[in-house]
A and B are shown apart, each in its own frame.
Chain A
Amino acid sequence: MAENLLELEEMRSSEDQTRFVGSRIGVVSLVAAAVLALSACASGDKQPPTPPATSASPSSAPATERVVGPLTPADAQALATMNDRLKQYVDVHRKIERSLPKLPADATPQQIDKNQRALEKLLRQARVTAKPGDIFTPEARPVIKRLLANVFGGPDGKQLKASIMDESQAAPSAAKLTVNARYPDIVPLTTIPPQVLQTLPKLTEDLEYRFIGNALILLDVHAHIIADFIEAALPK
């Protein structure tokens, strides 16, 4: 009881403090602005333009978009080869999926599993010659690795990597990855931080990026199979 009362008291005093601080902010904000302006003038550096406020338009805010970049024209061209392959893959996936009974919205785990394995089998047959690099093309691979290196080399890189590895201790680094193989049941699905999603090419809802150890994989969500992968994509 006493502890909770104390918490409430803390909240009230925090509000009072906020009001007091607010008045002080009003007094000094002009001074602060002047100091900033002085600094900017003195430095003479051109600052990059401030991005537009996102709160004004939540439906189009950047956090919901995945932006590929920064890219040179050559990098963009390299990733375009991957996008072509992605489209081909999704076309095959959807064609096969349409041939299977639709999963009901109130399915049992057995139905989900049966549907998944049926799709897995047919996809494997349709892509019997598939190999690494068919989707993550040789042109796109170095670009993706570089984009990931940028993300993980940034100030939050260490924390981002920790969040990916979090709860994935069971992920065997020695797991042999194979295109068209079922995603290993013993490996938990990893977190994919939004920074990574915003950097990599956008996917349709049939596919998603995941990591297994240091490898970036392209997971077919419905079939639960590895459509392609890039080894050592996660920087050390």
Chain B
Amino acid sequence: MRLIHWSYVALLFLLIWTGAGWRDSGIPAGAAVVQASQSPAESAVPLPNKDGSLKFCVLGDFGTGDPSQYQLAEQMARLHERFKYDLVVLVGDNLYGAERPQDFQKKFEIPYKPLLDAGVKFYASLGNHDAREQRFYKLFTMGGKLYYTFSPKPNIRFFAFESTYPEPEQIRWLEKELAASNDDWKIVFFHHPLYSSGERHGSDLRLREVLEPLFLKYNVSVVLNGHDHFYERVKPQKGIVYFVAGSGGQLRVGNIDRGSGITAKGFDTDLVFMAAEITGDQMYFNAISRVGQTVDSGVLTRRKSTPDPHR
């Protein structure tokens, strides 16, 4: 018994000394590079705003119908006046509570009316609070499907995944679509984050176990999630950049675990949406708060596939 006790003490010492057990031990080739280049306190600046680039926003956990959701929506409309983004990616929890026709209006159509009127398209994924019938809703552009893919520009492809009920069939579909895509940019979006410093939810380890190998194998550069009600840019994990944008209407103040060790930038004191622009191999991003403050910004370079040495 004493021998067992001292064995575990010795092992614990070794684990602490090496850091094994909680530290990521390698960054593979083809890793995305992130440069955070702008001050976090500047007012919203329209990114490079180049002709021909893909401009889009990311919004999650938003459909409350509360005044704060409307205020953030106003900031999105204000940005669109100077930065003509084409689409908004929705990372789930699109409608909280009732989903009657009047709720679609109050929680979505009215706050984002200026954007809808301007022809901005919204592409939804579903969160744990969303009824599956939302997939039929025209303005969510899901085409009646729980998971789907679309390519808004050549060489850029988004993959929407349904993470509440990740059935084997869907995993097979995702692998098939990722494998078939020759696009330079592969961006996957869904509700539950694989990496998050949220004290309430945090990283979904079971989902990570299934999805991360696919993302690595098929060269996904960026993953967009919600669920935890704050903004977080996660340090590149095995070369992939993960964003949590779950404070589009809901907010959990002070919920980022500052000791998680994975946060590149976090903001949990106000609502936030993300604006992004892809031009060539770069993706520029801003995280903009309800008062129009840019709370994070930077540019990342896409992952590039490494040649297969066995070919």
Contact = CB atoms under 8 A, between A and B. Distances in A.
Given A32-B11, A58-B211, A64 B167 contact: yes
Contacts of B213: 55-56, 58
Given A11-B235, A35-B10, A221-B132, A63 B209 contact: yes
Contact of B36 (A8, A39, A163): A8
Contacts, number: 171
Contacts of A65: 168
Given A8-B35, A63-B207, A35 B11 contact: yes
A53 to B, nearest CB: 9
A159 B187 CA distance: 30
A96 to B, nearest CB: 16
Interface stretch (A78-86, A100-108, A131-139): A100-108
Interface stretch (A14-22, A69-77, A144-152, A173-181): A14-22
Interface string B1-30: 001100110110011011110011111000
Contacts of A58: 171, 175, 210-211, 213-214
A100 to B, nearest CB: 13
A141 interface: no
Contacts of B214: 58
A190 to B, nearest CB: 8
A61 to B, nearest CB: 5
Given A18-B25, A25-B20, A1 B3 contact: no
Give the size category of B's interface with A: 35 or more
A167 interface: yes
Contact of A109 (B101, B175, B250): B101
A54 interface: yes
Contacts of B159: none
7 contacts: A28-B17, A35-B11, A63-B210, A64-B170, A112-B101, A191-B128, A192-B128
B40 A109 contact: no
Interface stretch (B66-74, B111-119, B133-141, B275-283): B133-141
B206 interface: yes
A43 interface: yes
A22 B25 contact: yes
A105 B148 CA distance: 13
A148 B131 CA distance: 23
Contacts of A8: 34-36
Interface string B52-73: 0000000000000000000000
B84 interface: no
A42 B3 contact: yes
Given A35-B7, A105-B136, A170 B97 contact: yes
Interface string A155-194: 0000000110011001000000000000001111111101
Interface centre among A18, A116, A194, A197 (most CB of B within 10 A): A194
B200 A163 contact: yes
Given A4-B40, A28-B14, A166 B133 contact: no
A24 B34 CA distance: 28
A7 interface: yes
B211 A11 contact: no
A93 interface: no
A185 B100 contact: yes
Interface string A12-49: 00110110011011001001100110110011000000
A99 interface: no
B97 A187 contact: yes
Interface string B126-167: 001111110011100011110000000000000000001111
B260 interface: no
A86 to B, nearest CB: 16
A106 B17 CA distance: 58
Nearest to A183: B131
Contacts of A191: 128-129
B39 interface: yes
Contacts of A170: 97
B304 interface: no
Given A188-B96, A197-B165, A18 B133 contact: no
A103 B209 contact: no
B138 A39 contact: no
A31 B13 CA distance: 11
A50 interface: no
B133 A112 contact: yes
